[in-house]
Structure 1
Amino acid sequence: MASKSSKRTYASFSEPYGSSSLLSNPVPSAKRSRRNEPSLWSQILSLPHPTTQSLLYQICHANPNLAAFVQSAHNARLAEEAARPPVNFDHYSRDCWYTMNKKYKRLSCSKQFEMMGDICQVLDESREAIVAAAGPDVRWETRRNALEVLRKICKSIALCDEPQIRHELTKDGFMLGQFADSMQELARGMNEEEKERYKAEGLYEKLVDLSNDCGPDDMEGLPAVFRIFDSSHEDGDEDEQDEALDESEDGGDCDADSREYVGNLYDDDTEEENHPGEEDEVGFGTAAIGLPAGVRLGALREIYSQNYQQMTRPGQVLHQPPVIPSQPPRTKVFSIGELS
């Protein structure tokens, strides 16, 4: 009977003699093994957000071709945001109104006071959620609705049906002050065109009416919201006033300069007309200093006569001879230091 032939395995072919051959051992690679270094994407994710933005700006500034990719991504985001419907925050207003007016209506004043923490939490969470979803990069309709809902919540606080809850929310002005700060943030996110559009729709008038519902000390930050909307007109008026003031100052300087110039001319002419011989007069007095009274008078007469002869030309006769003063002329007194 023929014996059955056993099937040989691959191992029997590779190792016919049962010993490990050189081919069975792994050949060591000539390349140097690398350590598991983090990938570039992992490194980018590990960087702080401002650092990543700064590096991206520097790279785009050095390479304008890369800046085109950033511009394209920005335009795509704006197009996506414009196609998205505006966010409606009215449900926050309804939730806040129900929490203040209906949810704890049947409780006593002491129980309502104990629940003020829950009420304030609902108001704060609603306000923060509205401001976070209505940043400056969203559609104007979203920010308009956010500002309008904040106004409605403030009005619900001021006109709350429960006296105890209304008193606790308005006694120190803290809650309404936070809402006023959030409204300022939303108003600053609007440009001049959006502010005018907000006024044209009659929403600004409702915002002004809120000051009638709240007391003067309940919501101190509300006038700042009005100033943000009126800043464009005030800036224009201030610019016109500054220009008018500059023109008036320039005109005043010209008038002052002209008056000073004319005054100098008048003073020069007056000095020449009133004191034509001031230098000679000083010289006369200086020469006569230190002489007796009688000798001094004679010396002065002699000096006058000499000057008269010098002033007259040969053969010229003056109609009126010079008048010799009977008293000595005014002399200038010098100090000892000046004479020395």
Structure 2
Amino acid sequence: MTSPQVAKRARANTAGDDHTQLTEISIPTQEQLKILTTDRVVELLQMASMKHADVNAMVLNAIQSAQDERRNRVIDFDYHSKSIWKTINVTYRSMKGSRQYDIAFDVAGEISSTISSIAARCVEFPNPRNRRSGLETLRKIGKTICLSSNDTLGHEVQQQFQSDPCLENAMCDIVSEMSAQEKEDICNEAMGSESLIAKLEELAKLAESCCVFEGIGEVLDLLRGEEVEGGSQDESEEEGYDEDEDEDGHEHGHEHGHENDIY
């Protein structure tokens, strides 16, 4: 009589389901990864890239995509100049002079922070259109400060910028990031009230009359490719500025200024 065969016990599939399950359990969740500091994540990615070619390829592709996104991102900074104009000329207009005086330092500080952030974002997102928009917006902010000195707030803000060079520094930072072709394009624009170089020259004359933004001449020198040595007197002084006309040739008043005067 043939004895029954003993069923053999199945051997564990170490390369199959058990391995997959173990791997899935071992993968950290996004919440767990968030515990790590940025520096530690960077360190681990670099180590993994050195040991695994496929990881290295993924990391390099991700870096390239991020760089392309930054270069291609276009930012319109113009709303900053409109907001600052409104803050100086409208928001606190109904306040008494003493209260305007009290808030002037904080308002000037907010303007300085905005100016610095514009320059920083032009560096972070190095698109030529961003540099152009940033420089134009800073020019408008500067003109707002020059034209808004007929009440306490505007006057005190202007006083703050007699010693605060943040606007000129921000402009120089942006222009320094421009290519030679970008600078040449700005300088060779058709001359007239609408060209950026003419508007910057206008701002230089306004700033001189208000004793603010002493470094605007350096900005113009950088644009023209001239060496900057402690500021300079430039060709902008050859053309007069009619205080009774805005940039479109329309008459305007200077009490509180008009937003259209800045554009």
**Which residue of 42, 49, 65 maps to 1:76?**
65
1:151 aligns with 2:139: yes
After TM superposition, give the deviation of residue 117 of structure 1 in Å.
Answer: 3.5
Question: Could you say which residue in structure 2 is the equivalent of 1:89?
Answer: 77
| Higher Rg | 1
What's 1:139 paired with? 127
Q: SS of 1:194's equivalent?
A: helix
Q: Which of these residues, 78, 98, 118, is aligned with residue 130 of structure 1?
A: 118
Number of the residue aligned with 2:178: 190
Aligned residues: 196
Distance 1:187 1:83 in 2: 19
Measured in 1, the distance between the counterparts of 2:80 and 2:52 equals 47
Residue in 2 that maps onto 1:224: 218
Task: Give % identity.
Answer: 24
Is the CA contact (8 Å cut-off) linking 1:100 and 1:162 kept in structure 2?
A: no
Question: How many angstroms apart in 1 are the aligned matches of 2:50 and 2:180?
Answer: 31
1:125: Cα distance to partner?
4.0
Conserved? CA contact 2:136–2:196, under 8 Å = yes
Report what 1:244 is aligned to: none
Alignment of 1:14-163 (within 5 A): 46=36, 49=39, 69=58, 71-81=60-70, 84=73, 86-163=74-151
- Residue 197 of structure 2 corresponds to residue 204 of structure 1: yes
Change (3 A) 1:79 1:162: same
Matches within 5 A, 1:216-295: 217-231=211-225, 234=227
Instruction: Describe the superposition over 1:248-268 as per-residue Cα deviations: whole angstroms up to 9, x where unpaired.
Output: xxxxxxxxxxxxxxxxxxxxx
Instruction: Compute the TM-score of the two structures, normalised by the length of structure 2.
Output: 0.58
Q: Distance in 2 between matches of 1:169 and 1:208?
A: 22
Partner of 2:153: 165
The answer to whether the 8 Å contact 1:154/1:176 transfers is no
Q: CA RMSD in A?
A: 3.7
Rounded Cα–Cα distance in structure 2 between residues aligned with 1:121 and 1:63: 50
SS of equivalent to 1:224: helix
Q: Which amino acid aligns with 2:202?
A: D
Letter in 2 for 1:192: A
The one-letter amino acid paired with 1:111 is R
Residue 126 of structure 2 aligns to a residue in which SS? coil
Give distance in 1, aligned partners of 2:54 and 2:144.
Answer: 54
Once the 2 structures are TM-superposed, how far is the Cα of residue 151 of structure 1 from its aligned partner? 0.9
Is the 2:89–2:154 Cα contact (8 Å) retained in structure 1? no
Cα deviation digits, residues 285-318 of structure 1 (max 9, x gap): xxxxxxxxxxxxxxxxxxxxxxxxxxxxxxxxxx
Q: Structure 2 residue aligned with 1:215, among 203, 208, 218?
A: 208
